[in-house]
Structure 1
Amino acid sequence: MIITIIAFIIIFGILVLVHEYGHYFFAKRAGILVREFSIGMGPKIWWKRRHGTTYTIRILPLGGYVRMAGMDDDSDSLRPGLAVSLQLNDQGKVTTINASNQTTLFQGVPLRVVDFDLEKDLWISGYLSDDETEVKRYDVDHDATIIEKDGTEVRIAPLDVQFNSASLPARMMTNFAGAMNNFILSLVVFVIVGFMVAAIPTNSNRLGSVVDNSPAAKAGLKANDQITKINSTTVKNWDTMSSYISDQPGKKLQITYVRNGVTHHTSATTKKIVQNGQSYGQLGITEKTTTNFKARLGYGWHMFTYSATLIFTTLGHMFTRGFSLNDLGGPVAIYAGTSQATSLGVTGVLSFLAMLSINLGIVNLLPIPALDGGKLLLNICEAIIRRPIPEKFELAINLIGFAFLMLLMILVTWNDIQRYFM
């Protein structure tokens, strides 16, 4: 239980860190101010500000975010009538605006806000010490910070460092980089696993072994037999064969195979396996393996492409077979998967991490508003019409997408709880 929880937190943390670092890195390269880089959600438990970015760790290890200038609004922290304190430099410019009651500024100037502009002309005005006879106006430094209500100190967001001030290619790369990093992580981890396991699957149509008393054994199949056809489907590799068998639960299959250069024919009825509400076919055969160095090196790429194909196949089934919540999984499903992976040791956990990473990358690129793919779609539309997408339209689309994703997450989480724990 404890090991599963620790592994779950580490896996989730790595996935989020790698994904968000992609956005962070390319945003910085494009001159976009990253105001906050957060691992986790909810109340913060640690923060540090460095090179203009505030790094935070938050209490719930269920996500994270990169908060870029122009993607949020300081009116959430500042509003007319709010009592704040100001830190001034030697030139009388504001370097810090404290809008939190959780901290105090040394020799801070008390101000009740009347109005402010922290994007264009950079100023703030208000009444000093509640003296409403005069409105005092202060210039705000370009690199000034604001201490928000929860005590987090972040840079203000002038227009020249906002997301939309970057070029369109830079914005597109920033949106794509999170998924790209997940793909890179998946490939690297699969290569590492290839050098950790005892032997590497050959992905051939030749059998490694046959399980005793299995449907394959009863059909007369033996180790080293080469399966060339199942029903009318030609078999050239293990991926094709295992995928076809998996899609035929409890069905009789006509099998053509080669043994010692002689072609034979037999039939076998797959065993029906039900797992997580879905049915799979099983013959009781294992894949042939090798310890070749080149095969170990190529294992990473093979597993990467195989996993991507599997995910796209699953997405395709949602449209061809009908949508089901069982096709999706949230944090609860990931926790259950982590529990299974930890029972397989380090290689099991690493393989699960790699699979989740490519899954996260692909799902994030779906053209759904509020996801990276939805943002990229808006970027493409902007390139086609050759003018920026209206801000109100983009905000409305993203809000609708976010609401849809939150509703879907609630439904998926409840469905996962029923599947795995009830």
Structure 2
Amino acid sequence: MLITVLVFLVILSILVLIHEAGHYFVAKFFNIKVEEFGFGLPPRAIGKKIGETIYSINWLPIGGFVKLYGEDEAGAGRVLNSKQAKKPSKSDESRAFYSKPVWQRFAVVFAGVFMNFVLAVVIVSVLFSFVGVAVPAKHVLVGEVIKGSPAEKAGIKTGDVIETLNGQVVDDPAELVSLTKKHLGSEITLQVQNQQKERVVKVTPRKTYPKNQGPIGVAITPNFEIKKYPIWEAPFVGTKEVLGQTGLILKGLSNTLVQVFTQGKVPSDVAGPVGIAQLTGTIVAIGPSAVLSFIALLSLNLAIINVLPIPALDGGRLMFIIYEGVTRRKVSPRAESIAHTVGMAFLLGLIALITLHDILRVVSGQPILPQLK
């Protein structure tokens, strides 16, 4: 269990550090002064100043952070009073986060989310290219032959692959069913293969047949094959896959919030830190490919959650920046700081609720994620 927790913390820290690295490098690109880049969360254990930036290792080994000069004055961070909300010195004012144009501040804040999304795409693309992905096989595999059916009488056997029907290539079960029903009562010719040996069989689909048997009396087994994409094509396929997963995650998040606020309970298929940590052990036991897929999924989740327009998250900060860009008016630093504080309280409450839900399931002996049975 301890190893599982450590692996989970390492994965989480890597994902958050990549996220923060996005903020760091884009801030540097726009000549914004970075005061500190921290591994873990305060209190600080050790730190070394290199140039103008302190690089620190902190006692709480969960993620990391980037502290930008002038960030608090832009409304992120602690609640500011009128005395605290003052501009940096004139000499460094041009390098303060708050003094940069809207589009540059937007880029800095969005960079973390972008890095997590890119990481997910890169991992998925690598897996698609070097490991492959299971895709529906372009043939029809007979999983069972019903006793006394036309298929049995014609000599069709379990394990046969039906390749053509009356000379027409059959790629999937739906196509086989459709073509068969067009020839009810009439003899059809099937070309089948089994253990690299091909043969031709003739069978007459029944006009009337028992429910759930079909006209010829075979059950088709879902069949998949591993497809590896060329390295030049994998990024496009990987991006498409990640975008598809993004839609599913957003749908799941909306359903979770609806249930929390309307029914006062956490959905059974939602897991918090405890559940994800427990799941990590299962994933690690499966193998490296599963771990990489898991990291990609967590990275994508981190990107999506962070971009939600909730104060205290990157999405909440982007919301204020967009408002300023549209209206040409800045929200006061104090008002924005208060909004972020309230947002943080909401997020911590939600995390606590989900974590409590996880713990109660563990104590009661229930699986954290029952759908993974």
So what's the TM-score if we normalise by structure 1?
0.61
1:28-177 equivalent positions in 2, closer than 5 A: 28-72=28-72, 120=88, 158-177=92-111
Match of residue 321, structure 2, among 379, 384, 391? 379
What is the alpha-carbon distance in structure 1 between the residues aligned to residue 160 and residue 348 of structure 2?
A: 49
Deviation of 1:48 (Å): 1.8
Measure the CA separation in 1 of the matches of 2:4 and 2:112: 26
Change in Cα spacing, 1:330 to 1:267, as seen in structure 2 (3 Å) is: same
In the TM superposition, residue 185 of structure 1 has moved relative to its aligned partner by 0.4
Q: How does 1:174-323 map to 2 (within 5 A)?
A: 174-197=108-131, 199-202=132-135, 257-259=174-176, 262-263=179-180, 285=222, 287-291=224-228, 293=230, 299-318=237-256
Q: Deviations over 1:193-232 (max 9, x none)?
A: 22442x4223679778969xxxxxxxxx989789xxxxxx
Deviation of residue 316 (structure 1)? 3.7
Q: Relative contact order (alpha carbons < 8 A, sep ≥ 6): 1 or 2 greater?
A: 2
TM value normalised by structure 2: 0.68
If each structure's strand is expressed as a fraction of its own residues, which one has the higher value? Answer: 1
Alignment partner for residue 411 of structure 1, among 338, 346, 353?
353
| Aligned: 1:390 with 2:328 | no
Whole-Å Cα distance in 1 between the matches of residues 85 and 307 of structure 2?
35
Q: Partners of 2:245 and 2:160 in 1: how far apart?
A: 26
Instruction: State the 1:319 CA deviation.
Output: 6.2
Q: 1:191 to 1:31 in 2, by over 3 A?
A: same
Give the aligned length: 299
Q: Secondary structure at the match of 1:259?
A: helix
Shift in Å at residue 361 of structure 1?
0.4
Kindly tell me: are residues 116 and 357 of structure 1, through their superposed partners in 2, closer, same or farther at Cα, counting changes over 3 Å? closer
Matched residues in 2 for 1:205 and 1:421: separation? 46
Identity among equivalent positions (%) equals 32
Question: Does the 8 Å contact 1:208/1:287 carry over to 2?
Answer: no
Q: CA deviation at 1:50?
A: 1.4
Q: 1:364 aligns with which of 277, 290, 306?
A: 306
Contact 1:207 1:288 in 2 (8 A): no
The one-letter code matched in structure 2 to 1:309 is G
Shift of 1:3: 4.2
| SS at structure 1 position matched to 2:70 | coil
Give the Å deviation of 1:175: 0.9
Q: Distance in 1 between matches of 2:259 and 2:141?
A: 33
Residue number among 244, 266, 269 corresponding to 1:325 in the alignment: 266
The SS at the match of 2:63 is strand
SS of aligned partner of 1:257: helix
Change (3 A) 1:117 1:376: closer
Unpaired runs of at least 5, structure 2: 145-157, 164-171, 182-208, 214-219, 365-373
Q: CA deviation at 1:379?
A: 0.8
- Alignment CA distance shift 1:174-1:328 (3 Å): farther
- 1:114-171 deviation line (CA, Å, top 9, x unaligned): x99995558xxxxxxxxxxxxxxxxxxx6xxxxxxxxxxxxxxx53332111111000
Unpaired runs of at least 5, structure 1: 77-114, 123-141, 143-157, 212-220, 227-237, 239-255, 269-282
* Alignment-derived partner of residue 355 in structure 1: 297
Aligned to 1:102: none
Asked whether the equivalents of residues 364 and 373 of structure 1 are also in contact (C-alpha less than 8 Å), the reply is yes
- Which of structure 1's runs of 4+ aligned residues deviate more than 6 A? 115-118, 204-211, 221-226, 319-322
